[in-house]
Amino acid sequence: MRSSYQRYLWQLLALCLLAAAIMPVVAWYDLTHCQEQPERLLMQYQLGKIDQLRDVDTVFVGDSSLGNAIDAGTFSKLSGKTAVNLALTGFHGYSASYNMIRRVIRHGAVRNVVVVQALDMMTRAPSYEGYAYSAQVMDLLDPRAFPFRELPSYLKALAGIFFNTQSLRNLVYFWLSSTTTPSWLSNDYIRQGPVRSVDEEKLKGLPTARIDLRNTWFLRKMAAYCREHDVNIVYMHGPTLDVRADLSGDYLRRVNDLIAQAGIPVVQQVVTLPLSMMGDSPLDHVAPENKAEATRLFWERLRGSLR
């Protein structure tokens, strides 16, 4: 009888190990083949741009505040030099910006990197999922990419990607779904949705107490990488609703200090816009019809900082 229980335990172990071995394969297939969600399509779209790059003057990396604000074509015309916008989303965070910078620099010559993130990005926790989704394979295994104490969070994020039944659901949905993905791209970024209402809390301004200092790790990494490869790096906050920016003075000063201490020069003047110029996310998304104007405002503030 004892042996039947023993055998049961071995069977259980074998089946669990088998499932653990199959799941990352399923996840990998899902990640590389099931392109349904706009965030994944966006990632592929921006990586496609990097593949096309030869020699570029200015590369923008950042989140949706960048994606909705800067039109690379307009910026190129204004500056007289080539520019590419590689905006991802807020979910990807600073860690993905770091990866995008590494991808671009590894690919070819670039003179300026401009990091543009929403004003509140420093209040968000570092995105280790964002790192994993944007990393090249070898970077996934780079132990120096994180402070040691953050390793459990990173491993958790990796497990969330490669050991997740969501991959299986995506795969089934992808195979069964007969509908084609609606056009997600508009104006070189994810198409804007209906205007979302603004949470009253968020209009009160950003408190310095909410700054997550762990974010400075990736800012330091970006600065060091660009310095190592002789690339000029500049930080600029994304366009911000004027009311919010006005009430976030202390926060802005503190964040600018932290970014500068990390080794990235900061363009002090924020592009602030009235509600009438904002889009689906009124705090930091410029409405599509105002993208050219926002690009001009960015160019005016950035021109002195670019090579």
Partner 1 sequence: MLFNSFTFILFFLPVVLAGSFVLARRYGATVCVFWALACSLFFYAWWNPRFMLLLIPSILFNYLMGIAIDRAAGRTRLIVLWASILANLTLLGYFKYANFLVDVANSTGLVSVELARVALPLGISFFTLQQIAFLVDTWKGDGNENHLPRYALFVCFYPHLIAGPIVHHKGILPQFRKAESFRYEPERVARGLTWFALGLFKKIIIADQCSLYVTPVFDAVAQGAHPGMASAWMGALAYTFQLYFDFSAYSDMAIGLALLLGINLPVNFLSPYKSGSIIEFWRRWHMTLSGYLRDYVYIPLGGNRKGPARRLVNLLLTMLIGGIWHGAGWTFALWGALHGVYLLINHAWRMLLEKLGVADWNRHGLYRALAWMTTFAAVVLGWVVFRAPSVHDALVIGRSLVGLGPGSGQLSGAQGNEFTFGVLGVVAAVAFFAPNSQELMNGESRLSWRPQWAWAWVTAAMFMVSLFSLHKPSEFLYFRF
Q: What one-character-per-residue DSSP string does 82-144 give?
A: -EEE----TTTHHHHHHHHHHHHHHHSEEEEEEEEE-GGGGGSPP-HHHHHHHS-HHHHT-GG
Closest CB 214 distance from partner 1, rounded Å: 19
Q: What one-character-per-residue DSSP string does 178-198 give?
A: -SPPPP-EETTEEPP-SPPPP
Closest CB 202 distance from partner 1, rounded Å: 18
Cα 33 from Cα 18, distance rounded (Å)? 23
Closest CB 157 distance from partner 1, rounded Å: 9
Cα 82 from Cα 72, distance rounded (Å)? 8
By beta-carbon proximity to partner 1, the closer residue of 179 and 183 is: 179
Closest CB 11 distance from partner 1, rounded Å: 4
Copy the structure tokens of residue 114: 């401009």
By beta-carbon proximity to partner 1, the closer residue of 13 and 203 is: 13
By beta-carbon proximity to partner 1, the closer residue of 6 and 136 is: 6
Copy the structure tokens of residue 49: 């741009």
By beta-carbon proximity to partner 1, the closer residue of 98 and 128 is: 128
**Residue showing tokens 């509600």:** 275
Closest CB 99 distance from partner 1, rounded Å: 21
Closest CB 247 distance from partner 1, rounded Å: 25
Pairing of strands 109-117, 55-62: parallel
Q: Which of 52, 131, 151 is nearest to 88 (CA)?
A: 131
By beta-carbon proximity to partner 1, the closer residue of 156 and 307 is: 156
Chain residues that interact with partner 1, rule: CB under 8 A: 1-2, 4-9, 11-12, 15-16, 19-20, 23, 156, 159-160, 163-165
Cα 206 from Cα 7, distance rounded (Å)? 59
By beta-carbon proximity to partner 1, the closer residue of 136 and 165 is: 165
